[in-house]
């Protein structure tokens, strides 16, 4: 075997995930954004711990201090350390984003796969339910839940669970419709495999590329939703630290104390941009039509 044939053999022997990772690494911007997200995840855990202040500690004698050696991101109008509050907000925002992606994946994937596999009237009913839920604005859902349950993380999670999985369900359904006529699915039916085994063992694993990419793009959407709701006063409430709450507090003082608005705005911008770039790169890397 000559050198060219050996190289071609090595390329052909790459698994689907190995080939996707190699193509993902070629996107330097997405790889850099991935390191930013990993850094944010680490700092959300250790950031509030490396300072001698708590995110909710009030020191009125230290209010509105500009960034300095003692307060790296400055302080707010109650003398609270903005550095601690920013990373505590990152912990909350990333938790909400990851939890929303998990909820969307579980509900949306099962819903879409079931509708596509059974088809006919089952598919019709399930998709019409999606259409009905899609017409309900998220803001209206949050307001109604707030009236009955009050504000907080639970309200945000339930609202995202009601509205957030619809896009995932449609994408999963479209993928399953394409692959459910494959030979390996026909063979599984012929040997008597159960419906659940066919769906969870054969159909869903072969549609994981678009599912993972969609889940990655769900995270920044959920983070922005939480920040937007907190900014309007419908999300988390003080004394909890959230990027939306900090932006709301910083807008009124941005002319005189711009650091109070700059740092939470910069964090949410970098996080959403990084997740979107990583998600787009992941979608391209997992596309089997682009496989070497």
* pLDDT higher than threshold 70 for residue 292: no
Report yes or no on 194 lying in a domain.
Answer: yes
- Domain holding 90: CATH number? 1.10.3720.10
Report yes or no on 5 lying in a domain.
Answer: no
Write out pLDDT tens, residues 221-277: 888 888 888 777 777 777 777 888 888 888 878 788 888 889 888 998 899 899 888
Give the Cα separation of 60 and 77 in Å (integer).
Answer: 8
pLDDT of residue 35: 93
What integer is the mean pLDDT of 183-192?
Answer: 83
* pLDDT higher than threshold 70 for residue 14: no
* pLDDT higher than threshold 70 for residue 202: yes
Report yes or no on 6 lying in a domain.
Answer: no
Report yes or no on 155 lying in a domain.
Answer: yes
Report yes or no on 144 lying in a domain.
Answer: yes
Which residue segment(s) compose the domain that 34 sits in? Answer: 15-290
* Banded pLDDT at 1 (limits 50, 70, 90): very low
pLDDT of residue 36: 92
Place of tokens 């012929």: 190
pLDDT of residue 7: 47
pTM: 0.79
pLDDT of residue 16: 64
Report yes or no on 8 lying in a domain.
Answer: no
Domain tally, the chain: 1
Report yes or no on 140 lying in a domain.
Answer: yes
Report yes or no on 215 lying in a domain.
Answer: yes
Write out pLDDT tens, residues 133-175: 888 888 888 888 888 887 777 888 888 888 888 888 898 898 8
**Is the dihedral angle over the CA atoms 189, 190, 192, 197 positive or is it negative?**
negative
């Amino acid at each position: 075997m000559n050198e060219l044939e050996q190289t071609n053999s090595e390329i052909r022997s790459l698994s689907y995930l190995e080939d996707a990772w190699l193509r993902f690494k070629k996107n330097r911007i997405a790889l850099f954004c991935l390191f930013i997200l990993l850094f944010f995840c680490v700092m959300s855990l250790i950031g509030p711990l490396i300072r001698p202040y708590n995110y909710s500690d009030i020191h009125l004698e230290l209010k509105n201090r500009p960034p300095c050696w003692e307060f790296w991101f400055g302080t707010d109008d109650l003398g609270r350390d903005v550095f601690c509050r920013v990373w505590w907000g990152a912990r909350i925002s990333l938790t909400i984003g990851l939890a929303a992606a998990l909820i969307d994946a579980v509900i949306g994937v099962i819903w879409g796969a079931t509708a596509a596999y059974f088809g006919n009237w089952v598919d019709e009913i399930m998709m019409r339910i999606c259409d009905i839920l899609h017409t309900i604005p998220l803001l209206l859902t949050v307001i109604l839940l707030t009236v009955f349950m009050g504000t907080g993380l639970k309200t945000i999670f339930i609202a995202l669970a009601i509205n957030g999985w619809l896009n995932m369900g449609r994408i999963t359904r479209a993928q399953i419709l394409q692959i459910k006529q494959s030979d390996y699915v026909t063979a599984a039916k012929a040997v008597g495999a159960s419906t659940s085994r066919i769906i969870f063992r054969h159909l869903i694993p072969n549609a994981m590329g678009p599912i993972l990419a969609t889940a990655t793009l769900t995270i920044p959407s959920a983070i922005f939703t939480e920040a937007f709701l907190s900014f309007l006063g419908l999300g988390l409430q003080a004394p909890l630290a959230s990027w939306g709450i900090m932006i709301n507090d910083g807008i009124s003082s941005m002319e005189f104390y711009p650091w109070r608005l700059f740092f939470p705005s910069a964090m949410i911008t970098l996080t959403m941009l990084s997740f979107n770039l990583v998600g787009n790169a992941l979608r391209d890397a997992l596309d089997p039509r682009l496989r070497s």
